[in-house]
A and B are shown apart, each in its own frame.
Chain A
Amino acid sequence: MNRGLLAKALRESWPGTLLFGAGLALVEAILAFVLPRFQDQISILWSQVPFIQYLFQALLGADVGGRLGTEVLTCIAWLHPAVLALVWGHATVHCTRVPAGEVDRGTVDVLLGMPLSRWQIYRTEAVLWLASGIAILLMGAAGNILGSLAVAGVLRPDPRRLAGVIANLFGLYFAVGGLAWLVSALSDRRGWAMGVVFAFVLGSFLLNYLAHFWSLADHLSFLSVLHYYRPLPIFRDGAWPVRDIAVLFASGTTLWTAGGLIFARRNLSTL
């Protein structure tokens, strides 16, 4: 790791990280504050309209039975599309900075002109990526806790269970980021790289959703990254999904390493 390079990467990425973190904190605070207040109305809707049940179950990735408990509402705050979009958005934006972003803005010749190995550049950027990911998720958790302070104590999430969900969400962030690193290493255009990652996460989301209605999608659902992100069992039973988290981290590590190997070996210069 090179300190100067880390300072440069931090200087360029902190506004984005702050923006995504603040956005996540705000969304979490609003959801944690609002959802418990409308528990009765949502429960009525839940019991009267079966389609709503399907929608919720598809989003939650689990069969919740006929009951809409507190833990389900708490869970929605961590599965809401706005939350996923912010987490995935940050991973995609951050992990396509190098090399696709540098080639795209024409600064890669200056960067590669420095006495740094490509692995050194890659590792330094990755350290900042992981630190930024942890930072935005902690900001989200802080928002959630702040928002839930305004509701009755029984409706607040258990800190240990919340930590489990954050760990699972970080695994999701890591896997999507790993893919973004790989696509970025293969690309000279940041927009193209971001588009590919966006298509993948959108496909994952749809596959996970359709799996509850369509048997073919159900067979393929293991390919969706959301298949390994399940906050409901954590909030409901308190058990950490160690296997799912391990799959996400293994996938992310494999993709990140593949990206590093390509970045270290490919021809790179300003277009």
Chain B
Amino acid sequence: MEVIVTESLTRRYGRRIGIKEMSLSVPEGSLFGFLGPNGAGKTTTIRVLLGFLRPTRGRASLFGLDCWRDSRRIKAEVGYLPGDLRLYSWMSGAEALRLFGSIRRRDLVREGRELAESFDLDLGVKVRNMSRGMRQKLGLILAMAHRPRLLMLDEPTASLDPLMQEQLRLHLRALARAGHTIFFSSHTLSEVEQLCDRVAILREGRLVADATLEEMRRYSRREVTIRWKSGTEAAQDPPPFLELQERDGENWTCLLAGPATDLVRWASSQPIEDLSIGRPDLEVLFRRYYQQGRDPS
């Protein structure tokens, strides 16, 4: 079942485009990474999905319900962490759990305390006295404490130290295993790569890619190094699937596009002493997606 579905979703701010013609679907139970540089439209998309902003054109639905009309029903099943989190300064973590629980008509205290323990957060501290990292942890706890079907996190690792980032990843993986859907927005590839199984990439409000990480890896090129046998004559030109980057005597450094089978077949007929194929370099692929006017294919 698809939890999030958008069809030609467009949101404009006057003459400026927030998102344009976005068609996206997120299956239930997935860890979905939503990648894009700053200002690409990630937060706008989330705000449209949560019914804060009305789409200019197109449709958006969560759990099969319209994001604008059925916003209240949708949000009962959603946990949300805003990108620019600001909590009520007068409340402590414990008060926040009681208050949010009362609004959601659910007891969040027990689950909240367990989460606070794993995130090492003192719930007795008032928000006004918390550091940014502590506020971020409280925001995460409040988003997760009611065990929502869909968790929408807008750049959640901001202000978290590496240990807490790892703790968050563990929690999110556990939630996804239990069938919860995670929608994880970020502008950092590495954290999405560590966590998500599917990625959509946004550039200037447009969706430029939507694929599993495996598919992404298949699209991306890999570094290949070839050492020719000494005394033999290296091939004059590389085959079409290899892009020569550097030629240093008997050593070649190339980029491989496409499957490795063509390379292996070609290499078996060549006087090659050693050959190594690197991991798919997603960073290169993502940088190309991010760059304006370039087609990564």
Contacts and interface: CB of A to CB of B under 8 A. Distances in A.
Contacts of B266: none
Interface in A111-142: 112-117, 120
B69 to A, nearest CB: 10
Contact of A116 (B52, B53, B72): B72
Given A113-B50, A115-B76, A115-B104, A106 B71 contact: no
Contacts of B105: 4
Nearest to B52: A269
A262 interface: no
B25 to A, nearest CB: 23
Interface stretch (A7-15, A55-63, A193-201, A239-247): A7-15
A97 to B, nearest CB: 12
Contacts of B90: 11-12
A112 B75 CA distance: 9
Contacts of A107: 86-88
A114 B77 CA distance: 10
A109 B99 contact: no
Contact of B86 (A5, A7, A105, A115): A105
A117 B72 contact: yes
A204 B99 CA distance: 40
A67 B78 CA distance: 69
Nearest to A105: B86
Given A112-B50, A120-B72, A270 B86 contact: yes
Contact of B101 (A4, A106, A110): A4
Contacts of B53: 267-269
A5 B88 CA distance: 13
A107 B53 CA distance: 16
B279 interface: no
Nearest to B68: A265
A8 B104 CA distance: 13
A43 interface: no
Nearest to A108: B52
A269 B86 contact: no
B126 to A, nearest CB: 13
A64 to B, nearest CB: 48
B72 A8 contact: no
B80 interface: yes
Interface in B75-125: 75-76, 78, 80, 82, 84-88, 90-91, 99-105
Given A106-B86, A107-B87, A114-B75, A3 B102 contact: yes
Contacts of A8: 88, 99, 103
Given A110-B85, A110-B86, A113-B75, A4 B54 contact: no
B88 A109 contact: no
B278 to A, nearest CB: 42
B73 interface: yes
B72 A115 contact: yes
A47 interface: no
A113 B88 contact: no
Contacts of A112: 50-52
Contacts of B54: 265, 267
A270 B99 contact: no
Contact of B52 (A7, A11, A268): A268
B171 interface: no
A150 to B, nearest CB: 39
Contacts of B52: 109, 112, 267-269
A2 interface: yes
Interface in A1-50: 2-5, 7-8, 11-12
A26 to B, nearest CB: 26
B47 interface: yes
A115 B88 contact: no
A5 B84 CA distance: 22
A7 B82 contact: no
Interface string B54-71: 100000000000000001
A234 to B, nearest CB: 41
Contacts of B71: 117
A123 to B, nearest CB: 13
B151 to A, nearest CB: 12
A265 B53 CA distance: 9
A106 B83 CA distance: 11
Contacts of B88: 8, 12, 107, 110
A4 B86 contact: no
Interface of B: 47, 50-54, 71-73, 75-76, 78, 80, 82, 84-88, 90-91, 99-105
Interface of A: 2-5, 7-8, 11-12, 105-107, 109-110, 112-117, 120, 265, 267-270
Given A109-B52, A115-B104, A270-B82, 4 more contacts: A12-B88, A110-B82, A112-B50, A113-B50
17 contacts: A3-B102, A5-B103, A7-B99, A11-B90, A11-B91, A12-B90, A107-B88, A109-B47, A109-B82, A109-B85, A110-B82, A110-B85, A112-B52, A115-B72, A115-B75, A117-B71, A269-B53
Complex A-B, nearest 10 residue pairs according to Cβ-Cβ distance, in ascending order: A4-B102, A4-B103, A106-B86, A115-B76, A109-B82, A113-B80, A115-B75, A117-B72, A267-B53, A269-B52
